[in-house]
Structure 1
Amino acid sequence: MMGQMPEPPYYAVIFTSRRTEGDQGYAEAAERMVELAREQPGFLGVESARGEDGLGITVSYWASEAAILAWKHHPEHSAIRERGRSTWYSACHTRVCRVERAYEFKQ
């Protein structure tokens, strides 16, 4: 992402996960979730990284807690979340934070 964000406050959802072996449709589903999230009211952006050891961190940014809850309850997102728990992740953790301040550096 590393793009233009609004002035705080806004919200960040931090999703940390450890992948299971093999793709099993994961890459396609992850791409679809980003595409679908971008269509949601209040979505501001997403950043994601995954290490060689399978540990991944995805941070999505939202304008409000209501937007986060709407995303959480979106039927397609709910179905993919359940598939993640049953197939793609050996462990995962979600944290919701309010961003009070933000700083950036560019060269």
Structure 2
Amino acid sequence: MIHFKPYYAVIFTSSQSKHTNGYIEMANKMELLAKQQDGYLGMESARDSLGITVSYWESLEAIKKWKQQSEHLQAQLKGREDWYNWYHVRICKVEREYEFTKVESTI
């Protein structure tokens, strides 16, 4: 039996504006900074016409501290002023997970 402890996911969905100067650098900086935060568990991200970043956290308190982190606050402001047409944030409790990995045949 696998023991599983629930955790939280912050789902950040966004549409970028035409003004993306400095966006990639800031996104990379925020990922490095998030990894240093207590309660951070990981991150997954994809961008096409719609961007989706999901970060994983041990607790709601860890999420709240990340949202209020000073450099992250500056990035949020820059995002609203320049980088995003809109964004939507969802915070969810993950109570169960599973995955599939295809194993290639060696024959």
Answer yes or no: same fold by TM over 0.5.
yes
Q: How many residues align?
A: 100
Once the two structures are TM-superposed, the CA of residue 7 in structure 1 deviates from its matched residue by 2.7
SS at structure 2 position matched to 1:106: coil
Structure 1 residue runs of 4+, over 6 Å off?
Answer: none
The answer for unaligned runs of 5 or more in structure 2 is 103-107
Alpha-carbon separation, structure 1, partners of 2:20 and 2:32: 19
The answer for unaligned runs of 5 or more in structure 1 is 1-5
Please list, as runs of the form range in 1=range in 2, the aligned pairs for 1:27-38 lying within 5 A after superposition. 27-38=24-35
Decide which moves more: 31-40 or 16-25. 16-25
Please list, as runs of the form range in 1=range in 2, the aligned pairs for 1:15-26 lying within 5 A after superposition. 15-26=12-23
Alpha-carbon separation, structure 1, partners of 2:53 and 2:91: 12
Question: For the aligned residues, what is the CA RMSD?
Answer: 1.2
Q: TM-score, normalised by structure 2?
A: 0.90
Identity %: 52
- Structure 2 contact 19–82 (Cα < 8 Å) conserved: no
Counterpart in 1 of 2:105? Answer: none
Alpha-carbon separation, structure 2, partners of 1:8 and 1:105: 20
Q: Which residue type is aligned with residue 95 of structure 2?
A: E
Q: Which residue type is aligned with residue 24 of structure 1?
A: N
Once the two structures are TM-superposed, the CA of residue 8 in structure 1 deviates from its matched residue by 3.5
Counterpart in 1 of 2:38? Answer: 41
Q: TM-score, normalised by structure 1?
A: 0.90
Q: Which residue type is aligned with residue 11 of structure 1?
A: Y
2:70 counterpart of 1:75: yes
2:60 counterpart of 1:65: yes
